[in-house]
Structure 1
Amino acid sequence: MFTAKRYARLKWACRRGMLELDVLLLPFVEEAFNDLSEQDKETFERLLTCDDPDLFAWIMGHQTCQDPELARMVDTIVSRVKV
């Protein structure tokens, strides 16, 4: 379960070293995170432990994430941005 404290840490983790990631991840967590299943919330939290260059490459479509759960979460984030 995501407590307010855990959610606040998650929002802080969305503040990355790359502006391109900041403008995607922080709005996603603020606007869509609460609608995710508990499993997807944990997957998103795990996604945030990945390195910025990997996240950027996955989100921009330059590389494919080899972890199926993380790849699905990247697709969720990207599809939300394209709407």
Structure 2
Amino acid sequence: LEGFTMFALNQGEVCTCPSRSLIQADIYDEFLALAAIRTKAVRQGDPLDTETMIGAQASNDQLEKILSYIEIGKSEGAQVVTGG
């Protein structure tokens, strides 16, 4: 799960941040439940606070890109399990 939540270590400034996770079918349900718990534990806030895991996005353009990905996923049948 730590690799899954690596997105929280940047504010949209890493071009190699993963946008997909390929999960083996027989562990999918358990993985999704644990991933939701782990993702909900990501602390958002002031990037100068050492307890913060993710601050604001680097730009409004990056925020809009993220929101568009969420909408694309939902239009293709994805279910948002946290945030969104």
Task: Give TM class, smaller chain.
Answer: under 0.3
Q: TM-score of the superposition, structure 1-length normalised?
A: 0.25
Q: TM-score of the superposition, structure 2-length normalised?
A: 0.24
Computing the radius of gyration from Cα coordinates, the structure with the larger value is 2
